[in-house]
Structures are given as C-alpha cells and as structure tokens.
Amino acid sequence: MIRLEAVSNRKLYIQIADQIRDQILAGEVKPGEQLPSERDLAANLGVSRPTVREALIALEVAGLVEIRVGVGAFVRRLKKTQKRLPEQSRSPLEIMTVRLLLEPEATALACQKIDVAGKERLQAVIARMRSEASEGEWSTETDRALHMTIADYADNAVLREILDQLWSMRSEAVDSRFHQHLADIKEVREHILSDHERIVVCIVDADSEGARAAMTEHLDFVSRTMLDSWE
C-alpha cells in the first residue's frame, strides 16, 4: 500500500514559526536569550530571510518573542496561557505585491476623475498625517484614509472593493505588527509622509503619469523596507 502524508496548506512562515516555537517550549532557548540572527535561521531552515522575519513577527504576536529592531529577537518569559500562533492564509509581503500591481493604476485613474471635494479630502488627510508625524506618531487609519480616498475617485467599484479588502487584511495581527515596526522608525515615517505628499500634489495637478510613478515608488519603498535587514 502506498503511504502518503497529509499535505499542509499552511503558509510557510507559520510552519517555520511552529518549529521555532517548539524549540522555545522545549527550553532550547531560555527567556531573555536572543534567537539566532535572521541570516542564520534562514540558512539553517533553507528559506528566505523575509519568510523568517514573518515567522518571527508571528511569534511576537503570540507573545513568545520580543523583536528589537536593529538588535534581534529575544525569547520572552512564558506565561501559563500562551497565545496561539496566528493562522493567516496570506503574508504581509504577498499583500504588498498585489498592492503594487493595482494601486499605481488606481492613482492614475483618480487623477482623471477626482473633483474639488475629493482634492479637499486628500489635502485634509495629508494635513492630518503631517500633524501626526510632527508628534512622532503614525496612524494606520489615516494612512488607509488617504489610500482609500484615492480608490474612491478611481471610479471603479470592483477595483475599490479589492483595495478595501487588501487594507482590511492589513488589520490582521501579523501584518499590523509588521507595519508597526516600520512606523516606529523615524526615517521611515518621514519618507512615507514625503511620498504621500508627492502623490497628493500629482493628483491635485491632474498629473496621471506623475501620480502613477509616485505611488509605484512609494509602495516599492515600503516593500524594500519590509525586506531590509532589521539586525
């Protein structure tokens, strides 16, 4: 008889997080100790560093590790009631890939459709972003408001619905924590604010090509920053 094993459809980063969690629970790494670097974990597991990073963030969400950007991941003292690993069917990097495919075109469309009221909405959101940034803060809600205002004025209900779903995925635990780590870096917040300001200027000026390029460069920056080493 042929012996077959069940095929797992769980995301790779969750499978990696499972392995690291088991090592932590087995006491291979003690509370307060630092896990091996992303580079070493990736080499030992035969996966990419971004996959390892997603796994570490899943472990952080579960309360098993603390990520210190620029330093590494440290094992936390275990509690009697430990959170389960978040079972998400997509990864933050997959979501960013789809956004890169769709949002630049939505932005170009918005340049052609947006009216005075829409421009005022965008300028009000960017003003709120500046105010938050001056306080050293970054609001996911304000970020979403800007991108979804653009989606509203692309004047395509299907496109808007897809982009809204992608932003809803951003609220899932791993994705939310991933982006929060980015927002905690002052230089990243400032760069993203500058990107958004440029996008709004292009839309207000009805510069479709400039707006498309500005959104592409913005999302590409966020994607690259998600992939950059944090250690």
Query: Which residues fall within 8 angstroms of residue 31, CB to CB, at 6 or more apart?
Result: 75, 76, 77, 78
d(CA 43, CA 16): 12
User: pLDDT tens digits for 167-205?
Assistant: 998 888 888 888 888 888 899 999 999 999 999 999 999
d(CA 64, CA 23): 11
The H or E element that residue 219 is part of is: helix 208-227
The H or E element that residue 74 is part of is: strand 72-75
Q: Can you name the residues that pair with 66 across neighbouring β-strands?
A: 74
| Whether the predicted pLDDT of 51 surpasses 80 | yes
Tell me the pLDDT band of 5, cut-offs 50, 70 and 90.
very low
Query: Which residues fall within 8 angstroms of residue 129, CB to CB, at 6 or more apart?
Result: 139, 142, 143, 146, 193, 196
User: pLDDT tens digits for 114-161?
Assistant: 999 999 999 999 999 999 999 989 999 999 999 999 999 999 999 999
Please give the DSSP secondary-structure letter assigned to residue 61.
H
d(CA 229, CA 73): 13
Query: Which residues fall within 8 angstroms of residue 209, CB to CB, at 6 or more apart?
Result: 108
CB 86, CB 60: distance < 8 Å: no
